[in-house]
């Protein structure tokens, strides 16, 4: 009998009842704007910021309209100006180079290793070749590079690191929360990430000046005193007339549902990792299929799974994907010549200068990607692995 999978790869869990009640309470109040608060009321957004700062151990936190907004806001806040070169991963998603372009800066792509992290040798080359002073480091699909080695290189070269933690909220490197090595950490609360408000983003930093600029940029007007997880008022004195309002605030409705989900994130991480490990166990020792190595120091969140079909030709990969799809297994291929749905390659972003990366191309053209939503049971993941295994072998 040929097994078929019936699950839906884009179906997330429902919003918890407690969060729905919190959202309804906000709607009943009529006060949805983050600065629309009663005299003794902090408001859901400021409380979310306080709780997320505590969760990551950061001094300051700002909630914003999206993950992409968080990235662009962080770049402006660290001083990136039009025309500047900003380094980023060749293996990432479109909002990352998009955030660089949104401030008029130029993306400089750094290669990817077969562990799906930024290539530190190539990083050193790109630092000296481009003269870029900022790295927007994308922990793409939750794979975390050796952060101690990366920070050693960047600190030595005077490169500011902004972390894109869209896939690493709740993850750690050597016990340090992802987003806490660089000057700024940026997170997304969009539906397909680790906590779900439809759209939304968070920024953390220990730097009072960066925090003050980010708050002004996000559209605080002169209401920055309402932030609980912001720097003291005097930090705003020098910047408040010079920092443009690039409106991108979060509202109380979204913050209300995120606060409840944040409380449960550690349990959710356990659930994701149980699914990840089940799928991974089913894919070990298959000829032609490479499982991605996860380093000991990496405390990952297995909300998606990647494997490599190294040196397969395009037609063979397309055949494999089609056979899996027939059996209900929706896999995404980062190597597809044309961008499809969420996937695209660094050479699909034509607004950036052409930058050949032949070593990365070998890896990129082999990356197969699968979501692991928590609506899948662990038994589903075992079934998914059996199907993938059978279809790799039938090539």
According to the binding rule CB under 6 A, does residue 93 interact with ligand PLP? yes
CB of 41 to ligand PLP, least distance (A): 27
- Please identify which residue in 88, 188, 218, 268 interacts with ligand PLP, judged by CB under 6 A: 188
Q: Which of residues 132-161 bind ligand PLP (CB under 6 A)?
A: 138, 140
- Pick 106 or 194: Cβ nearer ligand PLP: 194
Which of 66, 220 has the CB closer to ligand PLP? 66
Crossing angle between the packed helical segments 17-29 and 252-282, to the nearest 10 degrees? 160
Q: Which is nearer to ligand PLP, 93 or 321 (CB)?
A: 93
Build a one-symbol-per-residue string for 63-92: x at contacts with ligand PLP by CB under 6 A, - elsewhere.
---xxx-----------------------x
> Does 96 participate in binding ligand PLP (rule CB under 6 A)?
yes
Q: Select from 177, 201, 230, 302 the one that contacts ligand PLP (CB under 6 A).
A: 201
Interaction between residue 303 and ligand PLP (CB under 6 A): no
Nearer to ligand PLP, 56 or 190 (CB): 190
Rounded distance between C-alpha atoms, residue 261 and residue 268, angstroms: 9
What are 391's two structure tokens?
Answer: 């279809």
State phi, psi for 345 to the nearest 5 degrees. -115, 165
Q: Return the residue of 47, 75, 116, 166 that touches ligand PLP, per CB under 6 A.
A: 166
| Smaller CB separation from ligand PLP, 73 or 229 | 73
Output 67 or 299, the one with its CB closest to ligand PLP: 67
User: Closer to ligand PLP at the Cβ: 18 or 199?
Assistant: 199
How many residues in the shown chain lie near ligand PLP by CB under 6 A? 15
Cβ distance to ligand PLP smaller for residue 201 or 230: 201
d(CA 46, CA 53): 11
Question: Are the C-beta atoms of residues 283 and 302 closer than 8 Å to each other?
Answer: no
Q: Is 95 in the site for ligand PLP (CB under 6 A)?
A: yes
- Closest contact distance (angstroms) between CB of 282 and ligand PLP is 25
Report the residue from 119, 163, 164, 251 that binds ligand PLP according to the rule CB under 6 A: 164
Contacts to ligand PLP by CB under 6 A: 66-68, 92-93, 95-96, 138, 140, 164, 166-167, 188, 190, 201
């Amino acid at each position: 009998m040929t097994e078929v999978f019936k699950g839906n790869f884009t179906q997330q869990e429902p919003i918890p009842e407690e969060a729905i009640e919190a959202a309804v309470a906000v709607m009943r109040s009529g006060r949805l704007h983050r600065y629309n608060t009663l005299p003794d009321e902090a408001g859901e957004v400021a409380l979310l910021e306080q709780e997320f700062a505590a969760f990551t151990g950061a001094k300051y936190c700002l909630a914003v309209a999206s993950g992409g907004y968080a990235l662009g806001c962080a770049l402006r806040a660290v001083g990136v100006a039009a025309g500047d070169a900003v380094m980023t991963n060749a293996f990432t998603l479109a909002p990352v180079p998009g955030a660089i372009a949104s401030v008029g800066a130029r993306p400089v792509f750094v290669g990817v290793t077969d562990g799906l992290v930024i290539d530190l040798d190539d990083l050193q080359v790109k630092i000296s070749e481009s003269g870029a002073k900022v790295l927007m480091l994308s922990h793409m699909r939750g794979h975390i590079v050796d952060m101690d080695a990366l920070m050693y290189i960047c600190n030595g070269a005077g490169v500011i690191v902004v972390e894109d933690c869209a896939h690493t909220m709740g993850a750690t490197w050597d016990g340090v929360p992802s987003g806490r090595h660089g000057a700024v950490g940026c997170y997304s609360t969009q539906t397909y990430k680790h906590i779900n408000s439809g759209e939304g983003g968070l920024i953390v930093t220990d730097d009072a000046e960066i925090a003050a600029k980010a708050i002004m940029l996000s559209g605080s007007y002169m209401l920055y005193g309402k932030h609980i997880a912001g720097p003291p008022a005097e930090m705003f004195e020098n910047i408040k007339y010079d920092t443009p309002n690039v409106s991108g605030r979060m509202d109380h409705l979204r913050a209300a549902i995120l606060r409840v989900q944040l409380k449960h994130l550690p349990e959710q991480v356990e659930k994701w990792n149980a699914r990840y490990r089940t799928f991974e166990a089913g894919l070990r020792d298959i000829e032609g299929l490479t499982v991605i190595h996860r380093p000991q120091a990496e405390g990952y969140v297995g909300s998606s799974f990647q494997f490599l079909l190294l040196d397969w030709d395009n037609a063979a990969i397309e055949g494999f994907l089609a056979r899996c799809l027939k059996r209900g297994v929706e896999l995404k291929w980062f190597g597809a010549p044309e961008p499809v749905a969420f996937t695209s390659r660094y050479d699909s972003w034509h607004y950036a200068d052409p930058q050949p990366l032949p070593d990365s191309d070998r890896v990129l053209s082999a990356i197969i990607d699968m979501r692991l939503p928590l609506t899948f049971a662990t038994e589903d993941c075992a079934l998914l692995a059996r199907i993938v295994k059978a279809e790799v072998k039938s090539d």
